[in-house]
Structure 1
């Protein structure tokens, strides 16, 4: 059995994928690493490029696009590795000895289900990538840079592919918490996620992304929060979106909010059926965990 796998889902982003594969050459050529890519219905020649240039990569294809979450479930169901690293097609590992660090940490922390990496979001890596952060148990992890202990993955339900995009990591985090598994932030493993976060507001899919982000958060409230917490959580997040976006003239946000409300109402039967709420005791313990570490900003050196 292979100890490590690297799993990437991609769709119509061949230029980004080419750079990622170039940056991950060490892992691709490592016999201890199983490398699997899911081409989610690309029309830009992605599959042909991989088949022609990377014979050692296992390629799977969705003839028609099935979405990020469906594809990640498919990848995780195929891997035979002990530990499965998930990266976006525009992200790559920067740190040296990442595999050894992963192995050592999992061996020393038997209840750790997922290691969350330190992630820098930006087109260019800072000159100084050192840090003074400590390893710590956290609430969750980010999709573009983490690694699963596959024993833990098989102990919980698959990601909810009906979420389509956003929220699947938090869904898994709640399931892991219910099953007494832990998630740890390990900052010594650094990933560069090559995106301009601020520019995303200008992207054509801004409204869709915001709608999916909002609805996934509301889905999670209904699925996992104690009943007494749900109304105030949903009311607060709804009002903050209105206050911080709509009242400041962001009419695209209004469309996203209304769309998210419709999605929640439509999915109420499924949400109630799949509800697996934390007890009040579990919820209070969960709240005390540090938040998911999403963004890292380089520390300024004198």
Structure 2
């Protein structure tokens, strides 16, 4: 008997050319939820992910793009497809190490009606953590982690509505978190649920081209969030400080590719002005002070 009822909660996963990782994750979900509670969006994979999952897991709800649209677009499509009030978002290379704790997460959401999102304890590394216990308590935070979280669908429908797809790969969770904060919806860090994100941080840094592109996307998304939510003067001060820190931490240490990332991030920022105007939602000074005082959801990792 699965731990979660697919009438109450859906699990959503976006994937692209990672069939092996996805299958591993799906097999860990057998005890968590029935297959009909899982929703997958395949972003035009070329490794036959869609055909394999459709054949081997016929009860799973899988959709496929004909062209690659990107992670954020897929997450938007999955949130629209999920039919339940609670939605568990999970990366295709992540799984729950203590799935029984998900029942506690559901109970917490049901007892705290102003809780829009629970951000779980996330461990990054190829090997699972040696010590999985924690004495951490649940507390309010200012953001949530895309790799694994539980969201209230009505909070999405009423306050977030969609992630900004022009962000490409980063920043959408911070965007959503600030939208929720303005709507007086609360995000909690919920350490009882431990998730293993099976990723090698060392391998991610091997490709200079990929690192430069990821930096470009991260900068553009962070700067966009400043310009959407922060008072204008404060937003530009934050952007200038961000550029100064990138130059100090990278350019002065020999990473000259950071200049390319900054240039293209700035170009994207100018190009996307029309989109930012549509979603402009600036904090008051008091709101910004309160939001800035909230701690961030932690990430734990093994650099391997």
Shift of 1:188: 0.4
Shift of 1:82: 1.7
Q: Which residue does 1:186 correspond to in 2?
A: 190
Q: Provide the C-alpha distance between the structure 1 equivalents of 2:293 and 2:245, rounded to a whole number of angstroms.
A: 23
Query: Are the counterparts in 2 of residues 222 and 272 from structure 1 also a CA contact under 8 Å?
Result: no
Query: CA offsets, 1:223-259, max 9 Å, x none?
Result: 0001231121111110100110111111222211111
Classify the secondary structure of the residue corresponding to 2:131. coil
Equivalent of 2:130 in 114, 127, 141: 127
Verify: 1:177 aligned to 2:176, yes or no.
Answer: no
Verify: 1:113 aligned to 2:116, yes or no.
Answer: yes
Q: Provide the C-alpha distance between the structure 1 equivalents of 2:193 and 2:98, rounded to a whole number of angstroms.
A: 6
Verify: 1:76 aligned to 2:52, yes or no.
Answer: no
Q: Provide the C-alpha distance between the structure 1 equivalents of 2:230 and 2:22, rounded to a whole number of angstroms.
A: 38
Shift of 1:270: 2.9
Verify: 1:22 aligned to 2:27, yes or no.
Answer: yes
Verify: 1:96 aligned to 2:81, yes or no.
Answer: no
Q: Which residue does 2:3 correspond to in 1?
A: none
Classify the secondary structure of the residue corresponding to 1:205. helix
Q: Provide the C-alpha distance between the structure 2 equivalents of 1:223 and 1:44, rounded to a whole number of angstroms.
A: 38
Q: Provide the C-alpha distance between the structure 1 equivalents of 2:196 and 2:13, rounded to a whole number of angstroms.
A: 15
Q: Provide the C-alpha distance between the structure 1 equivalents of 2:241 and 2:75, rounded to a whole number of angstroms.
A: 31
Shift of 1:265: 1.8
Following TM superposition, the consecutive aligned residue runs of length 4 or more in structure 1 with deviations greater than 4 angstroms are: none
Instruction: Give the CA RMSD over aligned residues.
Output: 1.6
Verify: 1:155 aligned to 2:158, yes or no.
Answer: yes
Q: Provide the C-alpha distance between the structure 1 equivalents of 2:52 and 2:256, rounded to a whole number of angstroms.
A: 40
Choose 245-254 or 211-220, whichever is displaced more.
245-254
Query: CA offsets, 1:171-199, max 9 Å, x none?
Result: 10011011110000000001000011233
Q: Which residue does 2:220 correspond to in 1?
A: 215
Q: Which residue does 2:50 correspond to in 1?
A: 47
Shift of 1:292: 2.7
Q: Provide the C-alpha distance between the structure 2 equivalents of 1:81 and 1:112, rounded to a whole number of angstroms.
A: 16
Verify: 1:264 aligned to 2:273, yes or no.
Answer: no
Shift of 1:276: 0.8
Query: Are the counterparts in 2 of residues 34 and 81 from structure 1 also a CA contact under 8 Å?
Result: no
Choose 69-78 or 126-135, whichever is displaced more.
126-135
Query: CA offsets, 1:13-65, max 9 Å, x none?
Result: 1121121112222235x37x610100010010100110111011001111111
Q: Which residue does 2:260 correspond to in 1?
A: 255
Q: Provide the C-alpha distance between the structure 2 equivalents of 1:136 and 1:266, rounded to a whole number of angstroms.
A: 38
Shift of 1:297: 5.3
Equivalent of 2:284 in 257, 279, 283: 279
Q: Provide the C-alpha distance between the structure 2 equivalents of 1:56 and 1:255, rounded to a whole number of angstroms.
A: 46
TM-score by length of 2: 0.93
Say how many residue pairs are matched.
295
Q: Which residue does 1:225 correspond to in 2?
A: 230
CA, structure 1 residues 82+269, in 2 after alignment: closer, same or farther (shift >3 Å)?
closer
Q: Provide the C-alpha distance between the structure 1 equivalents of 2:9 and 2:59, rounded to a whole number of angstroms.
A: 15
Unaligned segments of structure 1, at least 5 residues: none
